Chain A
Amino acid sequence: MSGKEPCPLVVVRPSRGIVDEKFVVLVQNLPPGLAVTVHALIHSEDDDFWEAFGHYISDDRGCVNVAKDGSIGGSYDGVKPMGLLWSMKPIPGSRPGLRLRKKDVHTPLVVNISVYQGHMNERFKDTPALACAVAERWYKGPGVQRVGITTNGLKGTLFLPPGAGPFPGLLDLWGGGGGLVEYRSALLASHGYVSLALDYMTPKTSGNNTQHVGNDYFEAAFRLLQEHPQVCADRIALLGLSFGTSVALGMAVYSPVIKPKCLVSVSGSHVMPVNGSLSDVFAEIKKNAHNTRHDEENRIIWRDLLLPIPDDPSKKVDVGQIQCPVLLLVGEDDQNWPASESAEDMRQMMEKAGNSHLLTIASYPGTGHLIEPPYSPHIRASNFMVAQSRTKVIVLWGGQTVPHSKAQEDAWQKTLVFLEDHLYGIKHR
């Protein structure tokens, strides 16, 4: 190439990060005062494309620092160091109702960062970029081990930090969407916890009989952690999201086997028939199916299925009996589950019972149901497979992107501090 000016330089540090780690995106060697678009692109495992972009103007040294400079347009504005990740949405023309979830934690999310001339909003694919960089985002740290669990009829995945331990343990329960979701456990193992991601929604099918797991399933999972040679048997936490919280709270109060050291509930509720099996819980929820609402785009709002919060004590977990610290993380715009109302009711129950000193509630305005690890793209609505009937619907989760993303960062920080205090701390709380 004769006499050409070199392309600008895009640098991402760290270029290989853990997903909850911040990065700095720097663009250098631009002409000063140039309008540019910094664009991030992920090609997901499901073969979809997700993108985010910010509009910037290079300074008098020809630099743009996404961590320090304000975006003046695009998918986020203002100084948003991680906006290139959390504001990601499927590119125009994508299939509807998508959610970005990593299945294989042995490989990273690969983020292609490009800089374009001008303030662009579309047609990135057809436009040559000025410069590019690649960042990897990993759920699993090097040295973290992944072990498939099929013993004792359980279906799950265990993640172990490097080293002999022993480590505190964690039972990681997702929600009604079902399946085996590993990424949060991989991430928690990267923070020093033996974490068991458990699939409990997939019904057991033998012959013509389809059965949900019984309470003994969760007890077996808890015991697996307790008996694991690398786990401190009396330092095991329960972490539940959505329906997983109901399970966690129920077990924490009523199970003679499950004695968690602490409990984290994300977007959860205590409303469910006490001492019921999973099947009983679903049956109870079905009774309220007529309370299903739809928004203006015909997306399902399920929050009323548990409302009003019952006064009948047999219809909700008696959190007044809980003996361990509890952290409730609540989105005030949760359209899927009445997390706010439930949190308030739990607070009242615990105050009455005299154990409210165990309770911490973090309530986030403008935040929806899917409070995920930080910098995950906010999903307001997505496709959902109803596990029992295998039907596909579009569910409204709620939340507005900016406050929801801020909440994810704060909620994760609170979760990590809470877990470290109670599981690694020496003082008895």
Chain B
Amino acid sequence: MTWTPFYLLECQLRAVGQLRVSLHRNMCNRQAQVRWRSGSRPAPLLTARPTRALIDEPISIDAHHLPSHTPITVRANLTSEDGDLWEALSHYHTDAKGALNLMRDPSMGGSYVGCEPMGLFWALQPVPGSREGLRLRKRDVETPYAVHLSLLEGFVSPEDTRGKGSEEGQELAKTVVDRWYMAPGVRRIEVRQNGVVGSMFLPPGPGPFPAVLDLWGMGGGLVEYRSALLASHGMASLALAYFGHKDIPGPLNRINVGDSYFQAAFQLLQKHPQVCEDRIAVMGLSFGVYLSLRIASQLSVKPRCVVGINGPLGSFNTFSTEDGQKESFEENQRHWSYDEQGYVSFREVSSPSNIPSENYAKVEDMCCPLLYIVGEDDMSAASLENADEIEKRLHTAGKSHLFTRLSYPGAGHLIEPPYAPNARVSLWTTRPRQLMTLWGGHLAAHAAAQKDSWQRILGFLECHLRGEK
């Protein structure tokens, strides 16, 4: 261990008498690199398996041929489709053999603490100096995320790396993993039929497959990645656009479609030659929950089961059977609330007490099981209150047996497939001015919720779509 004037030394004596040294670099660390590269010692070996994984597949990361009992930072870097650099850094000590194993070893600090084998993925954050309000979402699901994993000497913080990425002289070792939303053989088919706008994902093979109608929230557009992943698990999945999409006629800031649109989408799935017409689930996040409940209770189609994540049982703006909504989401802001930084929370918009009861979906008419997922730190929707109200109405109708609730402390609104970073806040709009919205969720707790809820969702779908009614 070389102590030189280039390093500011902070020593903390621990209760058990161990010396923990953190190195703070205020100059470039070339001298350290010379020590590592001196003579003919090869770089340490950093391995990740599998090297090409599905998004929900755990990756095992280990390192060998490092000095023993040495502080090391493991870093993950990813460049998003928008060109932003995301990074996670965590601090480890090598063992007596100079090895690291992220399935076994705890992080001492950095982007996460404790034993978190997938922490480098779910704790990714935009590097210091990035644009504000970013959210990591894959648009093109037919290509993977390439994540660069590297080892850095000592305990390094995001400010030290200053988003430099893979710079010569900084990294001791590097490897790359590809992370996919689509398994090989899954087919993506653009759907523009009967007025329905969406993307269908089919598993490989003849089928027939159970299916999912996949609905997102008031962010609008067409979000495909969850459907791609569901198809990678053997279910046909139709990611449906219903708002804010150029191929849906009408103003982009309003929902211009009504019940007949969702009916047509469901029937499109039913009629598909590779889909089992009576084994279709509806899944919704946020406003998609209201739509899912409406489809299950008021339309003539019969889903086999419903998954709802953090969404209301009613619509603040009246939703008509044919034309969707007469008002846009932005037109009625009286329940929007702002924090001290000017970030907006939409939470109260979906509070049952603020929604006229005639705008509630008739959940008491539902005949199929419902899995409702609550993020207890949801700052965008009144999920807990809505869960309570749904549960109460089903109970009154003698249908409690249909309702299952999963409730996750510390999880926010955006409970998505696992091992992807949560955005506690992100950019909502830039017109008429830049507005950030609060989603809630604390990184580690939210990651745990995503991992557990995804397993539970897959199990629920498996049980109801493949089992007997």
Chain A residues at the B interface, C-beta cutoff of 8 Å: 1-7, 9-11, 13-18, 21, 29, 110, 112, 114, 128-136, 138, 141-143, 161-168, 190, 192, 232-235, 420, 423-424, 426
Of A1, A16, A114, A165, the contact of B180 (CB 8 Å cutoff)? A16
Indicate whether B213 reaches chain A with its CB closer than 8 angstroms. no
Residues of B within 8 A of A143 (CB): 146, 148, 174-176
Residues of B within 8 A of A142 (CB): 51-52, 146, 176-178
Q: Mark B451-469, 1 if CB is under 8 A from A, else 0.
A: 0000000000000011000
Stretch of B82-90, B200-208, B332-340 on the interface side: B200-208
Say whether, besides A167-B43, A424-B42, A16 and B50 are in contact (CB < 8 Å).
yes
Say whether, besides A162-B175, A163-B173, A164-B43, A17 and B206 are in contact (CB < 8 Å).
no
CB distance from B423 to the nearest CB of A (A): 26
- Distance A14 CA – B55 CA, assembled complex (angstroms): 12
Assess whether B50 is in contact with A14, with CB atoms less than 8 Å apart.
Answer: yes
Task: Look across to chain B and name the residue whose beta carbon is closest to the beta carbon of A163.
Answer: B174
CB distance from A197 to the nearest CB of B (A): 20
Assess whether A128 is in contact with B146, with CB atoms less than 8 Å apart.
Answer: no
Indicate whether B171 reaches chain A with its CB closer than 8 angstroms. yes
Residues of A within 8 A of B347 (CB): none
Assess whether A17 is in contact with B184, with CB atoms less than 8 Å apart.
Answer: no
Stretch of B271-279, B286-294, B396-404 on the interface side: B271-279
- Distance A166 CA – B43 CA, assembled complex (angstroms): 5
Of B174, B183, B275, B276, the contact of A162 (CB 8 Å cutoff)? B174
Indicate whether B314 reaches chain A with its CB closer than 8 angstroms. no
Task: Look across to chain B and name the residue whose beta carbon is closest to the beta carbon of A13.
Answer: B57
Indicate whether B330 reaches chain A with its CB closer than 8 angstroms. no
Indicate whether B209 reaches chain A with its CB closer than 8 angstroms. yes
Assess whether A232 is in contact with B208, with CB atoms less than 8 Å apart.
Answer: no
Residues of A within 8 A of B209 (CB): 6-7
CB distance from B148 to the nearest CB of A (A): 8
Interface residues of B in 156-194 (CB under 8 A from A): 166, 168-169, 171, 173-178, 180, 183-185
Indicate whether B108 reaches chain A with its CB closer than 8 angstroms. no
CB distance from B55 to the nearest CB of A (A): 12
Residues of A within 8 A of B50 (CB): 14, 16-18, 21
Indicate whether B53 reaches chain A with its CB closer than 8 angstroms. yes
- Distance A132 CA – B207 CA, assembled complex (angstroms): 9
Of B169, B208, B277, the contact of A7 (CB 8 Å cutoff)? B208
Assess whether B275 is in contact with A16, with CB atoms less than 8 Å apart.
Answer: no
Residues of B within 8 A of A110 (CB): 184
Chain B residues at the A interface, C-beta cutoff of 8 Å: 37, 40-43, 45-47, 49-54, 57, 64-65, 146, 148, 150, 166, 168-169, 171, 173-178, 180, 183-185, 204-210, 232, 234, 273-279, 465-466
CB distance from A360 to the nearest CB of B (A): 22
Say whether, besides A7-B205, A141-B51, A163-B174, A134 and B150 are in contact (CB < 8 Å).
no
Q: Which 6 A-B pairs have the closest CB atoms?
A: A134-B185, A143-B176, A132-B205, A163-B174, A16-B52, A14-B50
- Distance A162 CA – B57 CA, assembled complex (angstroms): 22
- Distance A164 CA – B178 CA, assembled complex (angstroms): 19
User: Which of B43, B53, B275, B278 has the most CB atoms of chain A within a 10 A radius of its CB?
Assistant: B43
Residues of A within 8 A of B177 (CB): 142
- Distance A128 CA – B206 CA, assembled complex (angstroms): 8
CB distance from A28 to the nearest CB of B (A): 9
Assess whether A5 is in contact with B276, with CB atoms less than 8 Å apart.
Answer: yes
Task: Look across to chain B and name the residue whose beta carbon is closest to the beta carbon of A194.
Answer: B42
Say whether, besides A143-B176, A163-B173, A164-B174, A4 and B208 are in contact (CB < 8 Å).
yes
Assess whether A190 is in contact with B466, with CB atoms less than 8 Å apart.
Answer: no
CB distance from B271 to the nearest CB of A (A): 9
CB distance from B176 to the nearest CB of A (A): 3
Residues of B within 8 A of A18 (CB): 50-51
Of B43, B52, B148, B176, the contact of A14 (CB 8 Å cutoff)? B52
CB distance from B33 to the nearest CB of A (A): 9
Residues of A within 8 A of B45 (CB): 192, 420, 424
CB distance from B454 to the nearest CB of A (A): 16
Residues of B within 8 A of A7 (CB): 205-209
Of A3, A132, A426, the contact of B204 (CB 8 Å cutoff)? A132
Task: Look across to chain A and name the residue whose beta carbon is closest to the beta carbon of B37.
Answer: A166
Residues of B within 8 A of A135 (CB): 184
Task: Look across to chain B and name the residue whose beta carbon is closest to the beta carbon of A110.
Answer: B184
Residues of A within 8 A of B168 (CB): 164
Assess whether A168 is in contact with B42, with CB atoms less than 8 Å apart.
Answer: yes
Assess whether B206 is in contact with A1, with CB atoms less than 8 Å apart.
Answer: no
Residues of B within 8 A of A141 (CB): 51, 175-176
- Distance A110 CA – B185 CA, assembled complex (angstroms): 9
- Distance A7 CA – B146 CA, assembled complex (angstroms): 33
- Distance A406 CA – B463 CA, assembled complex (angstroms): 39
Residues of A within 8 A of B184 (CB): 15-16, 110, 134-136
Assess whether A233 is in contact with B40, with CB atoms less than 8 Å apart.
Answer: yes
Residues of B within 8 A of A233 (CB): 40
Of B65, B185, B207, B277, the contact of A424 (CB 8 Å cutoff)? B65
Assess whether A234 is in contact with B40, with CB atoms less than 8 Å apart.
Answer: yes
Task: Look across to chain B and name the residue whose beta carbon is closest to the beta carbon of A138.
Answer: B52
Assess whether A4 is in contact with B234, with CB atoms less than 8 Å apart.
Answer: no
Query: What are 26 of the A-B contact pairs (CB < 8 Å)?
Result: A1-B208, A1-B277, A2-B278, A3-B277, A4-B276, A9-B466, A13-B57, A14-B50, A16-B50, A16-B184, A17-B50, A110-B184, A128-B206, A129-B205, A132-B205, A136-B52, A138-B51, A138-B52, A141-B175, A143-B146, A162-B174, A163-B166, A163-B171, A163-B173, A167-B42, A192-B45
Task: Look across to chain B and name the residue whose beta carbon is closest to the beta carbon of A141.
Answer: B51
Residues of B within 8 A of A131 (CB): 205-206
Assess whether B465 is in contact with A6, with CB atoms less than 8 Å apart.
Answer: yes
CB distance from A81 to the nearest CB of B (A): 16
- Distance A215 CA – B173 CA, assembled complex (angstroms): 35
CB distance from B216 to the nearest CB of A (A): 25
Of B43, B52, B278, B465, the contact of A3 (CB 8 Å cutoff)? B278
- Distance A9 CA – B204 CA, assembled complex (angstroms): 10
Residues of B within 8 A of A17 (CB): 50, 52
Residues of B within 8 A of A3 (CB): 276-278
